[in-house]
Amino acid sequence: MDYLRRNVASGRSDGKRGLSGLRDESQEVVNLVVDYIKQETLTPVKGLGRYVVFGVTGSVALSIGLFVLAVGFLRFLQTETGSTFTGNLSWIPYVICAVLVVLVAFIAVKAISRGQTPDPTSDKEQA
């Protein structure tokens, strides 16, 4: 008797069998993982770079503005105070301007550090 051979499960529909099909699928998995890593790392880094560029540009602009204001205030103290800061006291406007610039820088650093500290009450509200 001649027995007919019956296929229980058909092979792959794309016709790839054996090691070549396995290589293609493994290459597809590798490409998928690489694309995922690029998506999850490079895209946020690009956004972070934009954020840093705007931050640096803003800080440079504010620093130039503070410098111009300090020089203007120094010239104001030297010219509009009459004979108050003349002779041996000619150094006092420079000290006043230096103290003012250090004070503004201290206030800026304090404001930045205040914004970065975590609020302990916000953790309790979220829990």
Cα–Cα dist 84/20, whole Å: 92
Q: Domain-by-domain residue ranges, the chain?
A: 25-116
SS3 for 86?
A: coil
pLDDT digits (tens, 9 = 90+) for 58-103: 999 999 999 999 999 999 999 998 888 888 999 999 999 999 999 9
Q: What's residue 112's pLDDT?
A: 85
Residues 71, 93: contact at Cβ < 8 Å?
Answer: no
Q: What's residue 116's pLDDT?
A: 73
Categorise residue 82: left if φ over 0, alpha if ψ from -120 to 50, beta otherwise: left
Q: How much helix, strand and coil, in percent to the nearest 5, is found in the chain?
A: 75, 0, 25
For the chain, give the percent of residues with pLDDT over 90: 38
Q: What's residue 49's pLDDT?
A: 85
Cα–Cα dist 92/84, whole Å: 10
Q: What is the mean pLDDT of residues 3-21?
A: 59
